[in-house]
Chains A and B, each alone.
Chain A
Amino acid sequence: MAEDTRQPDITAILTAHVEGTMIGVSFRSMLAAVDVATEAGLDVEMLVVLDKPDEATREMLEEVDTHGARLLEVSYGDQALVRNHAVREARGRFIALLDGDDLWTENWLVAAHTLCAAEPRTIAHPYADWVFGESNSLSLPPDQTDPQFNPATLRVTNAWDALCMAPREAYLDHPFQARDLAQGYAFEDWLWNLDTVRAGYVHRVVRDTIHFKRSRSGSQFRHATANRSTTRPTPYHDYAWLQEWERARKGEPGTGSSSPLR
């Protein structure tokens, strides 16, 4: 049979590690969103990537191909590198990432795709990150086009989760950086947001969508926070770059033509 060379609209990527039975919940959530997207006429590729899985998780995902998903197994032990690998394997025009213990609302793929397809260099985030499980909170991420949004905020705090939808090239041109907790570097999603904002991508929020994030005591985020990790160094923290950027935004003379946020 000839290989289908048509580019899918979206590649939905589910990454898994040692989630065990819980991965089934996330996979079902992905299937529900893919069903809605397919009904809306979108072509969605499903990729499930196992990174150093335990046996229970591997067993859980043995039959994903029967649902139309492709299963990969890698051995990085690092979420950032797993995502990079998955993106290289993906064929979709847009990439949607889902962690192996989280869920989307079923409309996520359609709604995010509508936004990303309409506006080039757009990165779509859900309206709410709904944290459940061991803690309970809501993060309502900002839309970069909100007049009150201050990009300087990104210097001191992250604004968006990595589990968004973005053009595939956004991930290829700006791959996630590996963690190095021993050296105090983590928060690869924060760094990715800084890199993409610098590169001129616009982070937008998609109304009526939610990303359900399971909170667990052993999560990498909690490890990184307890470890007082920071992002890896980035020009975003450099006063010289910030000054140049500020001038460029104001249209002042003497600014470099390569200033990315003009």
Chain B
Amino acid sequence: MRDLIRLLPTLKKHLAKTYVVWKRLRVCAHPRLYSAQFSASELEELGGEFDVDRAVSHYLAHGVHEGKRLCALFNPDWYLEQLDRAGIKITKDMAPFIHWLAVGWDEWIVPTPLFHEGFYEERYPGPAKAYPWSFVHYVKKGCYEANRLASPNGRHHPGGSDPQASELQAPLLLREMLYRADDYDLSRTSWAEEGARAARAKYDTLGTARMTELVAKAAEIEPLVLQPHWDYPVAGTPPYRGRRLFLDRQAEELRRAVGRVHVDTVVLVPGGTADAVAATLDSLLARAGSDSLLVVGTDTGGTAEESRAPEKAYLDLLPFLEGMERGFRLDLLLDLVRGVTAERIVVVGSELGWGLLATYGRQLSARASLVAYVPSAEGDPEQTGPGPAVREFQQCFAHLDWALVETEALAKELTDRYALPRALAGRLVPPGEHAVERAFHVPSSHQHG
């Protein structure tokens, strides 16, 4: 705290509340952003990625003098612009962030283009009222909550929750702030902040005299155009903002990571240890060969070795799915299987894979042969009935060319359960020495390609 006292404005009233400023500083420290302003070698010398304590200490001892940024929700240039508007002076030797903590905070000056006070209070009147200043709610809670929109220009993150975000003080919008990090001086700004500025500028254009006149004329014809439900409607402003924009970046990174433009067969496995799927995967590998096959771990992450897949034929999808809501995860997987123009998509224990078949099975079955492995409940005391994947089977079977069922008994049970006609029952391939071989010879029920 001694470091902080030296940095504070010298007026008594500021010095008197050193402890308050200290608490604010701690709450606003975002170590991931701070770490991102160091090279890998610098970080290694400093003992690795910062946590909150180390980031705060290092910032007060060094970072503040080097112009580094500790808080993702503090943009120095934006703050200085707002100060100027408010007619508040700041001396040149004063660190803007420290000034904000001591002075600007009390004046309720929002120091980032990523937060819009009016919008936030309109959308979340309850939480916002719980704090004297709604921005404090966002700093302490909202920025870690996946369902919070901070401004009319989008939520600035891909929608997935992160249960550790609050504990680690890693606001969800950091993903977007660190996008194209090499292109920005992170101590001052980021992709997200520049995008928000551009979006605000576009949005503000709607308020020009010319636009106002044109809207008024349209309203003479249809008054309903002037009846918004919200004062601050959500505005999608591609390329900077849009609900699905984060997805395009992930899709491009995924495409580059795959490194191939075509594979015959995509096998979707849960990832991690592969005991439950090993036999099926072995058969598929033997049948298809690793050159024409891509094994994708979708649910739990892991390595090729754990999944017993050849290194060159394995892809861990988890890093690309991080922080994304389920709908986006499905869409990313869809982009992958369409991208490699897979002729065969085989789901072996992958929860996301089943989701893909259930959601996009109609469209995919027109271009590819869809296949799934259906495990049995036998030997699993926690399972009863026809097996753990029966719900998924029910949703997807219409799109499948064949299903590899774990046991003969399960094949019979499914046949009886759904009163499958003989032709459809023939698509349930029970295990056996050449089950996969036999299954590949089941006539397709769909027109592919």
**What residues make up the interface of A, taking CB atoms closer than 8 Å to B?**
25, 28-29, 32, 103-107, 127-128, 130-133, 135-142, 146, 148-150, 152-153, 155-157, 159, 182-185, 207-210, 212, 214, 228, 230, 233, 237-240, 242-243
Chain B residues with Cβ under 8 A from A32's Cβ?
A: 217, 221
The 4 closest A-B pairs by CB, nearest first: A240-B261, A157-B244, A239-B339, A184-B362
B222 within 8 A of A: yes
Chosen A-B contacts, 23 in total, with CB atoms closer than 8 Å, are A29-B221, A103-B225, A105-B218, A130-B215, A138-B236, A140-B203, A140-B237, A140-B238, A148-B198, A150-B239, A150-B248, A157-B243, A208-B210, A210-B206, A210-B211, A212-B218, A230-B334, A230-B363, A239-B262, A239-B339, A239-B341, A240-B261, A243-B261
Chain A residues with Cβ under 8 A from B210's Cβ?
A: 208
Whether the Cβ atoms of A142 and B238 lie closer than 8 Å is yes
The secondary structure that dominates the A interface is: mixed
Whether the Cβ atoms of A184 and B218 lie closer than 8 Å is no
Chain B residues with Cβ under 8 A from A138's Cβ?
A: 203, 206, 233-236
B245 within 8 A of A: yes
Chain A residues with Cβ under 8 A from B12's Cβ?
A: none
Known: A105-B214, A140-B235, A148-B240. A29 touches B338 (CB 8 A): no
The secondary structure that dominates the B interface is: helix
Known: A106-B217, A156-B244. A137 touches B233 (CB 8 A): yes
Chain B residues with Cβ under 8 A from A105's Cβ?
A: 214-215, 217-218
**What residues make up the interface of B, taking CB atoms closer than 8 Å to A?**
195, 198-199, 202-203, 205-206, 208, 210-211, 214-215, 217-218, 221-222, 224-225, 227-230, 233-240, 242-245, 247-249, 251-252, 255, 258, 260-262, 331, 334-335, 338-341, 359-360, 362-363, 366-367
Bound Cα distance from A31 to B4, whole angstroms: 67
Chain A residues with Cβ under 8 A from B261's Cβ?
A: 238-240, 243
Chain B residues with Cβ under 8 A from A142's Cβ?
A: 237-239
CB-nearest residue of chain B relative to A138?
A: B235
Chain A residues with Cβ under 8 A from B367's Cβ?
A: 233
**Least distance between B288 CB and chain A CB atoms (Å):** 19
Chain B residues with Cβ under 8 A from A228's Cβ?
A: 359-360
**Least distance between A24 CB and chain B CB atoms (Å):** 9
Chain A residues with Cβ under 8 A from B202's Cβ?
A: 140
Whether the Cβ atoms of A156 and B230 lie closer than 8 Å is no
Bound Cα distance from A25 to B252, whole angstroms: 43
Whether the Cβ atoms of A146 and B239 lie closer than 8 Å is yes
Whether the Cβ atoms of B225 and A106 lie closer than 8 Å is no
Whether the Cβ atoms of B248 and A132 lie closer than 8 Å is no
Whether the Cβ atoms of B236 and A153 lie closer than 8 Å is no
Bound Cα distance from A182 to B260, whole angstroms: 32
Chain B residues with Cβ under 8 A from A103's Cβ?
A: 218, 221-222, 225
